[in-house]
Amino acid sequence: MNRMDALLIIDVQNDFIPGGSLPVPGGEEIVPVINGLMDRFDLVLATQDWHPQDHMSFASNHKGNKPFEQIVHQGLDQILWPDHCVQGTQGAGFHPALNVNPIEAIIRKGMDPDIDSYSGFYDNGHKKSTGLSGYLKEKGSRVLYCCGLAADVCVYFTIKDALKEGFKVKLIADATRALDEEKFAEMAEELKGLGMESVLSGSL
């Protein structure tokens, strides 16, 4: 790997850790792995889900609907989630054991109350960029190492957009966890077909 390669930590936030409102099984296990990787990169970035309380993806904002039901909103399929990562709450904060000191920039997403944003690059309708692609290119980073939560939602969509943006992407497989590991196994095969590589932290 090259020192110009970037490490992108995706949504390692309290609400996605067991004990949070939308827990990813084993989510806490990746924190020490990620901490052990940071000093190998000159550029470390993180994404952070940062929803307003009235966000349209929350089941609580749809009378008669329950979490994990699916609706169509503005022509897009939308899973309704439990309230999570509400701006300024403890649940939206990074896991307390995550070493945030090396993180050069935090890309917040999901702030528009009317559209969800799984990817660290764009909202789900690809209407608005977060600026992450331009930031990486300005820094000279063309290879992106991805880790974080949840593998089958925000990690998947972030990697898919990164590949479309022309980045070479490597998933650090032991530094991510999925809500549904079987589903993500299929997703990972799709991403590999698009050019993603899967690596283990010990090989870096």
Task: Tell me the C-alpha distance between 121 and 32, whole Å.
Answer: 25
DSSP state of 27: G
Which residues is 176 bridged to in the sheet?
148
Task: Tell me the C-alpha distance between 153 and 9, whole Å.
Answer: 14
Q: Indicate left, alpha or beta for 166 from its phi (over 0: left) and psi (-120 to 50: alpha).
A: left
Active site annotation includes 109: yes
Query: Which residue reads 């309708």 in tokens?
Result: 125
Given the residues 5, 15, 109, 147, the one annotated as active site = 109
Active site annotation includes 154: yes
Given the residues 85, 147, 154, 161, the one annotated as active site = 154
DSSP three-state, residue 99: coil
Determine which helix (DSSP H) or strand (DSSP E) holds 183, and give its type and residue range: helix 181-194
Active site annotation includes 168: no
Query: Which residue reads 């608005």 in tokens?
Result: 128
Task: Tell me the C-alpha distance between 7 and 172, whole Å.
Answer: 10
Active site residues: 11, 109, 154
